[in-house]
Amino acid sequence: MPAPRQLVVEADGGSRGNPGPAGYGAVVLDPHDATTLAEAAEYIGVATNNVAEYRGLIAGLKAVRELFPDTDVQVRVRMDSKLVVEQMSGRWKIKHPDMKPLAAEAASILPASSVTYEWIPRERNKHADRLANEAMDAGGRGEQWDAASSTADRGTARTAALPEPAPPAGPPGDAVAGAAKVRAAMAAARPAQAAPRATSATPQMGWGSAPDLGAPATFVLLRHGETALTPEKRFSGSGGSDPALSETGRHQAACAAEAFAARGTVEEIVSSPLRRCRETAQAVADRLGLEVAVDEGLRETDFGAWEGLTFAEVRERHGADLTAWLASPDAAPTGGGESFAEVAERISVTRDRLVARHKGRTALLVTHVTPIKTLVRLALGAPPESLFRMELSPASVSTVAYYADGNPSVRLLNDTSHLR
């Protein structure tokens, strides 16, 4: 009996807005010489990143079946979506209702014993990523992807291509992406700004006259749920006790988890190391079937000797220090706490690191009042005193997106609708 034919499928998907105009790309490769055996790409309308990634996987596996309908094959699927790889490998549960039928369809295309899954970094999945972006570009023009005009595989022979899917009903209306392109055009006119990402040479119309910045890194900012200190309005930072969520806080975390499950947009979860955040993050992670990464940079301010005290108690005991703290971002709380200027520096470094790590994806950051307000303040270019002019309720949701041209976009602040 001949050995199974060895093949590699690389697949990807993207959404400009998450959810927003979405597309996928997939390529079938000969692992011996990296020859492209088949390509597939399609604009699929408004969808999330995860849906688009699953659709890319399905297209890649179907391409294998079409190419070798009567041949035993052994397929190695390579994707930069940890969610899809871990779920299809059986290591993560599939809890989201939108993912279950897609995973079931992918599993039904080829025998389970003939497919293995491997996670790869995004930079090693450029072929499929380019196909997905070409599909989204085509959707923006009211068209579908055309294999003849693809640049995803320049320099590599194409021995087969899949048939083109039917054209969509019409072009997407994506105001967010359009606004990003306008900003890119404005940035291009300013020599001091970094050049935006290069795009396809295909002529564009309307919004497409400016460079396409691609999907932003989107941070959904979730403040942790209540602790016993929250209703008493006591200073609770990273230098004092590490309180757990109260019963109310656990209920708030559960409500947030249900809301994120319904939206289906969160792809990664990153938490402050403090217990109240880790408990909130874990409630969401359990509902979504994701893992929680911990980042020290997301911890709350160290309030020094003020930890556990009310504002009135601090006023009574450390009045002069409190007055200085309210007047200047460089003033620190009594007893060696952190100033707002120090926190802003820490948060800036953390933001840049996480933006690079989650480029084009949606990450839930579970953190505290000061880090969230600082991220919003920096995104708006607002002065330090704006920290005192924002309301941020327990378990509230705020959102900031970071585009490739360096421009952030504040999309939401202090949303508590999921708690009602």
**Catalytic residue positions?**
224, 300
In sign, the C-alpha dihedral spanning 267, 271, 277, 278 is positive
Q: In sequence order, what E strands does 147-252 have?
A: 217-223
Residue 1 has which token pair? 């009996």
Alpha helices (runs of H) in 192-264, residue ranges in sequence order: 247-263
b/e map 114-144, b = 16+ CB within 10 Å: ebebebeeeeebebbbbbbbbbbbbbbeebb
Alpha helices (runs of H) in 68-114, residue ranges in sequence order: 82-88, 99-109
Question: CA 375 to CA 365: how far, in whole Å?
Answer: 11
Bridge-based pairing state of the strands 20-29 and 115-119? unpaired
Quick one: DSSP state of residue 226? -
C-alpha neighbours within 13 Å on the C-beta side of residue 61:
27
Residue 134 has which token pair? 């070409």
SS3 of the chain: helix, strand, coil, percent, to 5:
40, 20, 40
Residue 367 has which token pair? 């953190």
Residue type, 54: Y
Question: CA 270 to CA 252: how far, in whole Å?
Answer: 18
Question: CA 306 to CA 313: how far, in whole Å?
Answer: 9
Residue 12 has which token pair? 């990807």
C-alpha neighbours within 13 Å on the C-beta side of residue 255:
21
Residue 327 has which token pair? 């007047």
Question: Which value, in Å, is the radius of gyration of the alpha carbons in the chain?
Answer: 24
Bridge-based pairing state of the strands 397-402 and 217-223? antiparallel
Crossing angle between the packed helical segments 247-263 and 275-288, to the nearest 10 degrees: 40
Closest among 245, 231, 219, 283 to 393, alpha carbons compared: 231
Other Cβ atoms within 10 Å of 175 Cβ, number: 10
